[in-house]
Amino acid sequence: MSPGRRAGTGLFAVLTAFAGTLTLVTPAGAAVHDCRVSGDRAVCAYVTGIDAGSWLQLRTGPGYRYADVPYGRLENGAEVGLKCWSTGDGAADNPNYRYWMHIDTGVRGGWVNDWYLDTGNPAVWQQRIPQC
């Protein structure tokens, strides 16, 4: 094998290894993203995991005992700004998951259980979103 061929092979190996690291980015790291809410920069996520024909109800506090926010219904795919987080009641679909997000839709704000947002792993999003 010629020296030029080995150099090319080495470059290919480096590029392949680099491309492999790009595919290791997890959804948890990629789920929280930068966006704009009412023209202001924000950290955002999407509503997910809501049954067809149903919605995610905004609450006035971090739990199901808090009142519904009027007209505060969110469907799958809705993008929301994440203001801060707290703990409260467990999610309806996972009683052990107690993280709640104070969100802003650009029209109204309120609280939703993070179980229904594509924020990913709390260890990742807690680095970007302050505790309330």
pLDDT tens digits for range 47-93:
998 988 999 999 999 999 999 999 999 999 999 999 999 999 998 88
pLDDT tens digits for range 1-53:
444 444 444 433 333 333 333 333 333 344 899 999 988 899 999 999 898 89
Residue with tokens 């929280």: 32
Q: Which structure tokens are listed for 49?
A: 């995991």
36 has which bridge partners?
41
CA quadruple 50, 54, 60, 63: dihedral sign: negative
Confidence of residue 132 (pLDDT cuts 50, 70, 90): very high
Q: What's residue 116's pLDDT?
A: 95
Task: Give the pTM.
Answer: 0.74
- Could you give the angle at the alpha carbon of 56 between the alpha carbons of 51 and 61, nearest 5°? 150
CA quadruple 46, 51, 53, 56: dihedral sign: negative
**Cα within 13 Å of Cα(79), Cβ side:** 12
